[in-house]
Amino acid sequence: MSFLKDLKSVVRGNEDAVTPRAEISKDNPLFVYIRMPIDLDPDDRHELFADPLHEALEKENLGAVTGGGTMFVPLDDDEDEEVQFSGIDVDLYDLERGIELLRRELIRLQAPRNTSLLYELEGREWEELLYPRPVC
């Protein structure tokens, strides 16, 4: 099972739910996970990113921030852990306009490099980097 399916299972209770593009609405939102490669405590995550994103989404009636969390990975057998990333859960009511708003606001809020948007659409999982990778 993928990370996104595991997360949807915890957040939504059904990791196998397929979201058809044409059915995305306030009654049937698209779950988007914003993965940020940064160690943020919950208060900072809300103040710096989740609250401003929620306000912008609500203002445009495009969605809502519904939660968030931190992913830890074990460092050793002594139960020491390290933060792998912080995340924000979002429900979008409009795919194109909602993703565009998330990208614009995350850039404005100076989200870190390698921040990505993860979502499942019509049975396919997507992971979009916020900032394009430079061409070498």
Q: Give pLDDT tens digits for 38-64.
A: 888 888 889 999 999 999 999 999 999
| Residue 44, number of CB atoms within 10 A of its CB | 13
Q: Cβ-count burial of 20 within 10 angstroms (0-12 exposed, 13-18 middle, 19+ buried)? A: exposed
Kindly indicate the confidence band of residue 120, based on its pLDDT and cuts at 50, 70 and 90.
Answer: very high
- CA distance linking residue 69 with residue 75, whole number of Å: 19
Task: Please provide the CATH number assigned to the domain covering 3-8+32-129.
Answer: 3.30.70
Q: What is the dihedral of CA 61, 63, 66, 67, to 10 degrees?
A: -120
How would residue 1 be classed by pLDDT, with cut points 50, 70 and 90?
Answer: very low
Predicted confidence at residue 86, as pLDDT, reads: 87
* Residue type (1 letter), 109: L
